Copies of this chain bind each other. A is one copy, B any other.
Amino acid sequence: MRMAEAPKGAAERLAYLLPFIASGPARFGLGDLAERAGLPQSSVHRLLKVMLRFGLVERGTGQSYRPGRELQRMASQIVSRFDLVRSARPMLQQLVDSWQETAVLCTYSPVSRKAIIADVVHTPHPLRYAVERDGEITLPWGSLGRAVLAYLPRGEQEAIIRQSNAGPLTGRPRSKRAELDAALESIRAEGVSRYYDPQIDIAGIAGPIFGPEGEILGCVGVTMPSRRYQLHLADDLASAVGKVARDLTELASMQGA
């Protein structure tokens, strides 16, 4: 969907294709992949031959490819050391049980410079937002995005802010830079990101999750309509969310992450 992207060089292109395969359908054709990736078929075919040899893809029935068992194996191996999603599940559930609001886990994707919704436990309330797994979250908006943005290295922050200003309008004027900086600073000060915007009727609280070397992995948070936000004891909710985030950070540091 993005344009003006066409990595040069075999290694770059292989790395570039990997996510298309990992997140693509269980069966796909050469043409599909070439189109999705925006690369010439003959080039994709050459790379696919390499991946075939290394088990990253395999041939399916008829003329089709599928993600390879070696890829599966590697994925299991990586995840088996530390599975953030699995570790977080019961905690999300716990948050929903206690507060009756939707709990979300996001992981940060350094490449797309977005946070991706890795897991959700929905509120029992009938009024709730359509938060779905694998959804993308742009970092400068909302409690979830900002909980991540606040802890990114300065340079990356800059790039993201510039990029999302240039990006498509989101229905409201971009917040002023100074305002955003202040918000990020206060997130770092409190260790929890709060967001409350009655105009678009959304509110939330989120806490950052770090890896063993202090790099930000993602965040946990709860989101709700801003009207319901007012009914909660926000500070209690914030400390509950903060605790979950810290617990996950600790887990990530202990296990290999």
The reply to whether B55 and A11 contact each other, CB–CB distance below 8 Å, is no
Most B CB contacts (10 A, CB to CB) among A69, A71, A83, A212 go to A69
- One digit per residue, 1 when the CB lies within 8 angstroms of any chain B CB and 0 when it does not, for chain A 37-70 equals 0000000001100110111101011000011111
Interface size class on chain A is 35 or more
A6 at the interface (CB under 8 A from B): no
Q: Check if B73 sits within 8 Å of A75, measured CB to CB.
A: no
- Residue pair B18, A55 in contact (C-beta under 8 Å): no
Shortest distance from the beta carbon of A255 to any chain B beta carbon, whole Å:
9
A11-B50, A14-B14 given as contacts; is B70 within 8 A of A80 (CB)?
no
Minimum C-beta distance from A174 to chain B (A):
26
Docked complex Cα distance between A47 and B11 (Å):
7
Q: How far is the CA of A71 from the CA of B12 in the complex (A)?
A: 15
Instruction: Tell whether, in the assembled complex, residue A107 and residue B76 are in contact, meaning their CB atoms are under 8 Å apart.
Output: yes
Stretch at the interface among A93-101, A109-117, A186-194, A236-244: A109-117
Digitize A77-109: 1 where CB-to-B-CB distance is under 8 Å, 0 elsewhere: 111110111100000000000000000000111
For the complex of A and B, the 9 pairs showing the least CB-CB separation, nearest first, are: A10-B11, A75-B75, A75-B78, A15-B54, A22-B74, A55-B111, A55-B110, A11-B14, A10-B10
**Interface residues in chain A, defined as those with a beta carbon under 8 Å from any beta carbon in chain B:** 9-16, 18-19, 22-23, 26-27, 46-47, 50-51, 53-56, 58, 60-61, 66-81, 83-86, 107-111, 116, 118, 133-134, 211-215, 217, 256-257
Given pairs A22-B74, A60-B213, 5 additional interface contacts (CB within 8 A): A11-B13, A11-B46, A15-B53, A18-B56, A19-B70
